[in-house]
Amino acid sequence: MHESGNSLEPSRQPVRAFVSLGSNIGDREENVLTAIRALQDERTSLVAASHLYETEPIDLEDQPWFINAVAELSTTRTPRELLKRSHQVEQSLGRERDVRFGPRTIDIDLLLYGSEILSEPDLAIPHPRMTERRFVLVPLVELAPNLVDPRSGDSFADVLERLDEGKKVLRSAITES
């Protein structure tokens, strides 16, 4: 019997996954761009990244605005491995989890993993609040305008059009590299 990750284990087929990234502490833009680069390795590659967006905070509103983006990845990692890798990147960029929804150097959320629907105590796919958040849907729809929510069958573009959250999401004028 082989342990998980053993090189004798059959390789997984790449899966299309989407992550949301956000930062409102320090060099917000650089934090997001660095996190996108750091997620890439021999098992995960970047397919595309959205523009950067300056976004109004939600939940805990008394904090600086965020820079947000969505990245499309091709990965052979399992959802749990991709979540673990995201947490490692967050930690390497100084993420502290003191205040829920509070300021952070970087936040990486796993939004979608193929068409999987997963509901576990510490991992839900699709992300449970993504359809309520303009700062996620605007860059997601920019990247994949025809992408469909595996739970409802609705296109995310239609979900965004119906969303009446009232928070500002402004395409950043920052030059992205």
User: Residue 3 has what pLDDT?
Assistant: 44
> Among 16, 80, 109, 149, which one carries the catalytic annotation?
109
Q: Decide if 52 is inside a domain.
A: yes
Whether pTM exceeds 0.95:
no
In a domain, 142, yes or no: no
Is residue 3 assigned to a domain?
no
Residue 76 maps to a domain: yes
Domains held by the chain: number: 1
Considering the domain boundaries, does residue 82 fall inside one? yes
Residue 65 covered by a domain: yes
Q: Give me the catalytic one of 107, 154, 158, 162.
A: 107
Lowest average pLDDT, out of 15-29, 35-49, 91-105, goes to 91-105
Task: Quote the strand ranges of the chain, DSSP E.
Answer: 15-23, 44-49, 53-55, 66-75, 107-113, 118-120, 123-125, 169-171
pLDDT at residue number 160: 95
Structural domain containing residue 59: 15-129
Is 77 an active-site residue? no
Answer yes or no: 104 catalytic.
yes
| Nearest partner of 136 among 126, 150, 122, judged by Cα | 126
Q: Which of 77, 95, 133, 134 is catalytic?
A: 95
Q: What is the pLDDT of residues 25-76, one digit of tens each?
A: 999 999 999 999 999 999 999 999 999 999 988 877 788 999 999 999 999 9
Active-site annotation holder among 104, 154, 158, 171: 104
**CATH number, position 87:** 3.30.70.560
Does residue 95 have an active-site annotation? yes
Residue 104 lies in a domain: yes
pLDDT tops 90 at residue 159:
yes
Domain assignment of residue 35, yes or no:
yes
Q: What is the pLDDT of residue 173?
A: 62
